[in-house]
Amino acid sequence: MNEFERVGVDARHSPPGATIDPETSLGWLRRLRPVILEHRRALIVGVVAGLIALIAQVSVPAVARSAIDATREGSSGQLTTLVIVLVTLGLARFALGAAYRYALFEVAWGVETDLRALLYDHLTTLSFSYYDRTQSGEVISRANSDIRSIQVLLAFGPLILMSTIAFAIAFGFMLTIHVKLALVALCTLPFVYLFGQQLRLTVFPLTWVGQARMAELATIVDESVNGTRVVKSFAAEERQLNLLARSADHLRWVNNEAFRARSTWNPFIEALPRIGSAIVLLYGGLLAIDGQVTVGTLFAFNAYVVMLQAPFRMFGFLLLQSQRANAAATRVYAVLDEPAEIADAPNAPPMTRPQGVIRFDDVHFTYPGSAQKPTDADTNFNGHDSDARPAVLNGLTMSINAGETIAIVGRTGSGKSTIARLLARFYEADSGTISIDGHQVTDVTVASLRHYIGLVFDEPFLFSTSVYDNIAYGVPNASRVEVERAARAAQAHDFIMDLDDGYATVVGERGYTLSGGQRQRIAIARTLVENPAILILDDATSAIDVTVEEAIHHALDDLLASRTTILIAHRLSTIALADRVLLIEDGVVAAQGTHHELMATESRYVQILAETSDPPPAGSTNPDHPNPDRTNPDHTNPDHTNPDHTDPDHTDGDRS
């Protein structure tokens, strides 16, 4: 396990021993072969047991034929022996049949488990840019229904293959008994193949479209559930319902077309072998009447015809499932074949704990796959050609000293949050260099780099688990003392203790049972537990009221002194913590200095603060006051933050 990916529990399962074949020109099943072969022991057991079971199954009609003929001839001794053989074959068929089914299903479930592990593992290596252009419902669909389609084929396909082998063995026996009767038994089967081909050509494109429609439906459900607060706040339930109904109607149309094709061709595939059976009985009966074959032979032929029918009766299911698995595998492989844009350089060493000297040198960056300039949080993208939009950073050059606290200020979309994301290598710079203590971030392992960088976003994500586990997420084996110390520094301890179960309280999905300010404080505590060498607060107190924010700042004074800190801020109260302020405009550092220096000399800085910061208290005549909120005795809105914030949950309605 990577030493920088600290997990407080031991892994229960080893990772998959193989991945899919990287050669994209191969068929989907051949690409899956390395994963299947990882379960070769169960596969070999299943195949060997299955073949022996088939030999026993095919031998039964031959033995029964001899038993019937012995009965007609009055040979009781031979009949007794043959009955014992039949019972033995039946018991062997039962035991071996159970063994090969169990083994083959073990292979199918094992491959499904490995594919899920491979897919999730690869998803964790993909950069933010992949998720910017990929809907979450589509990813969920590929990880669930698509992989399940592959598993179903792997589970039932070998059983149908066994039936096909039984067909070959049975036909061989039939040829040894009566060649003409054996050929009559096969007379309808070429037509079964032709109808099956027609079914395949019709169903495959429909299956592909159906998988895409299922992903679309999953996306709508996912967005409706996760965005339920927005939906309800705009009374848009009917609109979402209509979107869901339209998507479901598209899926219904695809499924109806697929079922229409199956209902057209499957009856022919099912009926033709039965017609062949009737022809065999007619022709064989005439041969028996003429004395050319015995009654036992006719019985054996009839039993073999049933064996011949079995694979063809399942032929339609196999074709449908194979096409579905083909389409599903193509979609899963599309994710697994996606290159990881952010990866360790060959033989990259891990970063040792840095002093925190940060340097951006002529850095250019444009968000991939987006024509819309991102918001300050850089979270929403439209998926258009990047050439249609300007660069976010245009030769950014800046330096931050070890242990220094700087504030980055700029208009929305100026690239403030982009700086943090490039430093942690969530994205790769188009050109230029980014270094920490003189080491370029591309020359060290990603895990070690992110281990030493603590990043708190303005919209924190909490998991649906206890408050304690959320705070200890980065260090799962953290002690209670460490968790509480971080919570106290983030001014979260008091409201946590007021919750029903204290630190054991389970928060709702994304932490929405807490207020916006409470979520932000837990997110700050979560980062402080990890004790990063470089701390980045990306507007991390925007939803916290001013009095609580002031207490957090006092608690952070000692903590910030021992680490390099970047504050991406709009509030004057946050900016006041900084030793130096960088003004970002048009993707470069337009000005820098202390807050007071910029207020006195830089009109753009004053204008930006006027547009984005909390308004000064009534009657205040000191525009240079670093924190006007702290001097306003009449301040009656403790939750007031950025007037641009419109999320009704994005406040600090604490219960403390």
Lookup: tokens for 343: 């990866």
Looking at the DSSP assignment, which residues form a beta bridge with residue 396?
A: 363
Can you tell me the mean pLDDT for 552-564?
Answer: 74
Q: How far apart are CA 370 and CA 347, in angstroms?
A: 33
The structure tokens listed for 113 are 């488990």
pLDDT of 37 over the 80 cut: yes
Cα–Cα distance, 346 to 461 (Å, whole number): 33
Quick check: 637 pLDDT over 70? no
Q: What is the mean pLDDT of residues 356-366?
A: 93
Average pLDDT in the chain: 79
The predicted-structure confidence for 619-630, as pLDDT tens digits, reads as follows 333 433 344 333
Report helix, strand or coil for 24: coil
Q: Judging by DSSP bridges, how do beta strands 534-538 and 453-456 pair with one another?
A: parallel
pLDDT at 371: 42
Expressed in angstroms, the distance from the first to the final Cα of the chain is 40
The pLDDT of residue 176: 82
Give the integer Cα–Cα distance in Å for 365 and 427.
9
CB 20 within 8 A of CB 32: yes
Better pLDDT: 558 or 472: 472
The structure's pTM equals: 0.66
Distance CA 338, CA 126 (A): 8
Report helix, strand or coil for 152.
helix
| Residue (of 17, 13, 33) closest to 329 by Cα position | 33
Most confident of 59-63, 138-142, 590-594: 590-594
Angle separating helix axes 480-489 and 516-530, nearest 10 degrees = 130
- Both tokens of residue 505? 């309280």
Helix or strand (DSSP H, E) at 361: strand 358-365
Given a cut of 50, whether residue 164 has pLDDT beyond it is yes
Best CA proximity match to 367, nearest among 584, 539, 130: 130
The answer on pLDDT for 557 being more than 80 is no
Within 8 A by CB and 6+ apart from 116, the residues are 143, 147
Residue carrying structure tokens 């970002």: 584
Q: Which residue has the higher pLDDT, 647 or 85?
A: 85
CB atoms within 10 A of CB 50: 23
* CA 487/CA 574 separation, integer angstroms: 19
The predicted-structure confidence for 517-529, as pLDDT tens digits, reads as follows 888 889 889 988 8
pLDDT one-digit tens code per residue, 477-498: 888 999 999 999 888 898 899 8
pLDDT interval class at 12 (50, 70, 90):
low
Domains and CATH numbers, the chain: 28-336 (1.20.1560.10), 398-631 (3.40.50.300)
Alpha carbons 478 and 514: distance in angstroms, whole number = 23
Q: Please, which pLDDT band fits residue 229 given cuts at 50, 70 and 90?
A: low
Helical axes 295-313 vs 189-226, angle rounded to 10°: 30
| Span of 32-36, 178-182, 228-232 with lowest mean pLDDT | 228-232
Tokens, residue 451 = 């281990």
Which has more confidence, 72 or 595?
595
- 536-554 residue pLDDT tens: 988 777 767 777 777 777 7
Residues 514 and 466 sit within 8 Å (Cβ to Cβ): no
User: How far is 118 from 144, CA to CA, in rounded Å?
Assistant: 13
- DSSP code per residue over 87-140: HHHHHHHHHHHHHHHHHHHHHHHHHHHHHHHHHHHHHHHS-HHHHHHS-HHHHH
What are phi and psi for residue 535, nearest 5 degrees? Answer: -115, 130
Closest listed residue to residue 162, CA positions, set 44, 311, 309, 60: 311
What is the structure's pLDDT at 312? 67
Beta bridge partners of 456: 537
Q: What is the pLDDT of residue 380?
A: 40
